[in-house]
Structure 1
């Protein structure tokens, strides 16, 4: 009963938003008319270099399968910057859509969704966690539960600007599971925005696995290589 009411309220909200933005079919990248229901035009969409294959992060005798929607460059980079630093949640909707497209071919049947946590400083500065935002959209569309199961226990250096070895060292012992009962024996989809060396995603996945998760796979909006 309660779940039905929530779905009905969500439906009403979506209808209101459609009315508010009706006729505003402008590309969020170039501001040109899209002539379709998407928030990105065909020209900009064709510039995106989507990822086809998954990859594995191998370390400490563990292998974590990861999926990414596209490479971190050009249009995708603009979308992530828009979501992460400019409060442009339309960018988040589009990124989540691309991420869901990857899931269709992943053949991974998971029980719940978890996202990479932000530090208190980042949350205070930005006001939201972009990974949580992406996770909630995907969870809503996939009809899966999303949980705040991880916390960042200490402030770390910004990964941007660090070399590969320093990125890995920077993430050791940083993440802790909040509620082990939620993840016990569950297959988990872990959401992150960008994967570079894989250090952040790996240590989050390792902590979840060490605390009882059956399997953890990672899904990101983009991947980048140093």
Structure 2
């Protein structure tokens, strides 16, 4: 009888990518999930006498790449839900500890044009699952050149003075996880983390949904 009612009243879950039946609230079918290449363990970015720990959930390819593009450019907010769930599972699997969640900010003009910050959406999805607050601790204080088309050195120069910490008193002695969508060179996460640490954060870990290369 339980099986009968579970079929009769089951939710109509559809895969966010292909539209096939997903069978549960994860919103990905088995085939699309198999196309995700998960990352293993942490990695580090060391520069300017500072070493920042990074984690990325999966490589930027196939299903992950499509979800990020849909979220970032097509307002597909269900993709944020799926990515947020993957990020939560990754945190639990790797036993990553922190007090608060923050995110990589957007320049005000860019935010107004797009209407939302995809990194903040991911942070909010993570917050729902892990029951820790999202704090706005950073501002992007200058409009930088588009990172697309820039080589590694130019990306670092482009972002070296782009971010500023705000609400400094609240940052003091906090263990913070910084959320972003994609790791490319690490420049964005590094300079955001550097500002948080310079303003008193006890530790900062950067977590991205995707990593651009193996």
Alignment of 1:1-226 (within 5 A): 23-225=11-213
- After TM superposition, the structure 1 stretch with the greater mean CA deviation from structure 2, 204-213 or 57-66, is 57-66
Instruction: Measure how far apart 1:29 and its partner are.
Output: 1.0
Preserved CA contact (<8 Å) 2:13 2:25: yes
* Partner SS, residue 217 of structure 1: strand
Q: Deviations over 1:29-84 (max 9, x none)?
A: 11122233331110110111011121101111111111111000111000001111
Measure the CA separation in 1 of the matches of 2:23 and 2:195: 46
Measure the CA separation in 2 of the matches of 1:91 and 1:164: 28
Measure the CA separation in 1 of the matches of 2:25 and 2:139: 37
Measure the CA separation in 2 of the matches of 1:166 and 1:80: 24
Instruction: Measure how far apart 1:23 and its partner are.
Output: 4.2
Query: What is the root-mean-square deviation in Å for CA atoms of aligned residues?
Result: 1.3
Measure the CA separation in 2 of the matches of 1:166 and 1:111: 33
* Partner SS, residue 182 of structure 2: strand
Instruction: Measure how far apart 1:160 and its partner are.
Output: 1.3
TM value normalised by structure 1? 0.87
Structure 2 residue ranges without an equivalent (≥5): 1-9
* Partner SS, residue 56 of structure 1: strand
Preserved CA contact (<8 Å) 1:168 1:199: yes
Measure the CA separation in 2 of the matches of 1:42 and 1:225: 24
- After TM superposition, the structure 1 stretch with the greater mean CA deviation from structure 2, 88-97 or 22-31, is 22-31
Measure the CA separation in 2 of the matches of 1:197 and 1:37: 33
Structure 1 residue ranges without an equivalent (≥5): 1-21
Preserved CA contact (<8 Å) 1:197 1:225: no
